[in-house]
């Protein structure tokens, strides 16, 4: 875990992006969180440690991290976007009852991309998938 953070910080430094305490805290929160937090979750989680913390700062950094590829923004129907520190490729199983999001893995869906390229003429870079259903707790 600490390794991921150190790697990420190093990449920031290499890109001439300043490492402010707030920025590092947002990054740390994302790496340590397994709950796909919203911007507000992150804000609420950090405002104790950083009393003056602003939501704008959270959004600023989330946008930055998304742009450089550290995190993925997920905007699934719900009111607010969720953010995912994506270290490896995975899909999301979303509970239609309680809204919980669980990571799930499935290999070998790359041929979908080539198939779509032939069908649409797009040059596909990546794909995402969401599986909707009922989680064990809600069944």
Partner DNA sequence: GTACCTGCAAAACGTTTGCAGACAC
Partner DNA sequence: GTGTCTGCAAACGTTTTGCAGGTAC
Residues lying near DNA in the complex (CB under 7 A) are found at: 13, 17-23, 38-40, 50, 52-57, 59-61, 63, 75, 79-81
Cα–Cα distance, 35 to 28 (Å, whole number): 13
- Provide the binding-site residues for a copy of itself, judged by CB under 8 A: 73, 75-78, 81, 91, 93, 95-96, 102, 104-106, 109, 112-113, 115-117, 119-136, 139
C-alpha dist (Å) from residue 29 to 40, 49, 81, 105? 12, 12, 16, 23
Consult the annotation and say whether 92 binds a ligand: no
Q: In sequence order, what are the residues at sequence separation of 6 or more whose Cβ sits closer than 8 angstroms to the Cβ of residue 120?
A: none
Contact present, 101 and 82 (Cβ < 8 Å): yes
Q: Which is nearer to a copy of itself, 7 or 73 (CB)?
A: 73
Smallest separation, CB 109 to DNA (Å): 27
Q: Which is nearer to a copy of itself, 87 or 104 (CB)?
A: 104
């Amino acid at each position: 875990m600490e390794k991921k953070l150190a790697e990420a910080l190093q990449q920031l430094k290499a890109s001439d992006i300043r490492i402010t305490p707030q920025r590092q805290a947002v990054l740390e929160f994302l790496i340590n969180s397994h709950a796909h937090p919203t911007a507000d979750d992150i804000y609420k989680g950090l405002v104790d440690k950083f009393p003056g913390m602003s939501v704008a700062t959270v959004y600023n950094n989330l946008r930055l991290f998304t742009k450089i590829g550290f995190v993925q923004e997920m905007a699934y129907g719900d009111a607010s976007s969720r953010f995912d520190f994506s270290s490896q490729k995975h899909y999301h199983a979303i509970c239609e009852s309680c809204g919980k999001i669980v990571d799930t893995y499935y290999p070998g869906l790359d041929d979908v991309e080539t198939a779509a390229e032939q069908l649409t003429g797009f040059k596909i870079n990546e794909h995402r998938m969401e599986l909707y259903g009922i989680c064990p707790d809600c069944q």
